[in-house]
């Protein structure tokens, strides 16, 4: 189970220069991996191409053991008029009810189930939306700033829980949080470097112990690559 990107170049219509140029790399699955880089280097463009939202990238990706790719993103909207709990019930596949209830508890959204999506804060919306994706059937899930506006402690709990509950899935986590990416991701694709590099992260899981020196080395390697 893996995917490979081969010589991907992408230019927005009307732009003079490509946002992605000759991008090639591969990642093994399963695992919690990341795409990292400064704003404007094409992280979201790459994620959308990978998810099939653009013809320019379809011929450049090779998948092995991956058939269903889902893409979640920051501030994605659910129907603003519907109760969030009713919406989750409606989209929950048969047999996934127990997983849905567990995620609701861990994501701390029990008190929000009778609220309309439009009444929630941005962080609450993102948590509710991520649950909607996690209860679906997928091989790869792209999280494009999907935990933005969620406080740091809860974000860590969610990431560690996702890694524990879905050990056989491939996740691609897009975030501006250097420490978080270095801590929890196994392979980190660095966009914006002269050569697109894949750096090995610390890949912390539930019950991890502090390793400040190792974390500092990983963060330095990432920053040197940007």
Considering only residues 193 and 15, tell me which one the structure prediction assigns the higher pLDDT. 15
- State residue 210's pLDDT score: 82
Count other C-beta atoms under 10 Å from residue 159's C-beta.
22
Neighbours of 68 (CB within 10 A): 10
Q: Dig out the tokens for 147 from the structure.
A: 């935990």
Instruction: Give per-residue burial for 55-66: e unless 16+ CB within 10 Å, then b.
Output: eebeebbebeeb
- Which stretches does DSSP call E strand in the chain? 2-10, 20-28, 31-36, 61-64, 69-73, 140-144, 170-174, 187-190, 197-200
Residue 172 pLDDT exceeds 80: yes
Whole-number average pLDDT of the chain: 91
d(CA 179, CA 159): 13
The domain 2-76+137-225: what is its CATH number?
3.40.50.300
Q: 167 falls in which pLDDT band (50, 70, 90)?
A: very high
Half-sphere exposure of 208 (CA within 13 A, CB side): 19
CB 17 within 8 Å of CB 154: no
**At which residue do the structure tokens 């009307």 appear?**
14
Q: Mind listing the pLDDT tens digit for each residue in 68-114? A: 999 999 988 876 667 899 999 999 999 999 999 999 999 999 999 99
- On whether the CB atoms of residues 172 and 34 are closer than 8 A, the answer is yes
Query: Could you identify the residue written with the tokens 């991996």?
Result: 33
Whole-number pLDDT of residue 38: 85
Query: Per-residue pLDDT averaged across 168-176, rounded?
Result: 94
- Residue 36 · residue 190 · CB < 8 Å: yes
- From the CB of residue 150, how many other CB atoms can be counted at a distance below 10 Å? 21
Instruction: Tell me the per-residue pLDDT of 14-42, one tens digit each, with 9 for 90 and over.
Output: 888 888 888 888 998 899 999 998 888 88
């Amino acid at each position: 189970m893996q995917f490979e990107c081969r010589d991907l170049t992408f230019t927005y219509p009307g732009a003079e220069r490509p946002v992605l140029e000759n991008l090639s790399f591969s990642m093994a699955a399963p695992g919690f991996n990341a795409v990292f880089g400064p704003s404007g280097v094409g992280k979201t463009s790459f994620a959308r191409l990978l998810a099939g939202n653009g013809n320019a990238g379809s011929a450049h990706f090779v998948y092995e053991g991956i058939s269903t790719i889902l893409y979640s993103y920051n501030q994605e909207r659910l129907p603003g008029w519907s109760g969030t709990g009713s919406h989750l019930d409606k989209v929950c596949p048969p047999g996934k009810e127990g997983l849905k209830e567990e995620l609701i508890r861990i994501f701390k959204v029990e008190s929000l189930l009778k609220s309309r999506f439009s009444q929630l804060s941005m962080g609450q919306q993102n948590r509710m939306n991520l649950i909607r994706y996690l209860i679906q059937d997928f091989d790869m899930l792209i999280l494009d700033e999907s935990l933005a506006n969620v406080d740091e402690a809860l974000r860590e709990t969610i990431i560690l829980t996702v890694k524990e509950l879905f050990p056989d899935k491939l996740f691609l986590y897009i975030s501006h949080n250097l420490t978080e990416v270095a801590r929890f991701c196994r392979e980190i694709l660095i966009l914006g470097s002269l050569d697109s590099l894949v750096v090995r992260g610390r890949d912390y899981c539930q019950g991890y112990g502090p390793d400040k020196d190792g974390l500092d080395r990983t963060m330095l390697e990432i920053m040197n690559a940007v």
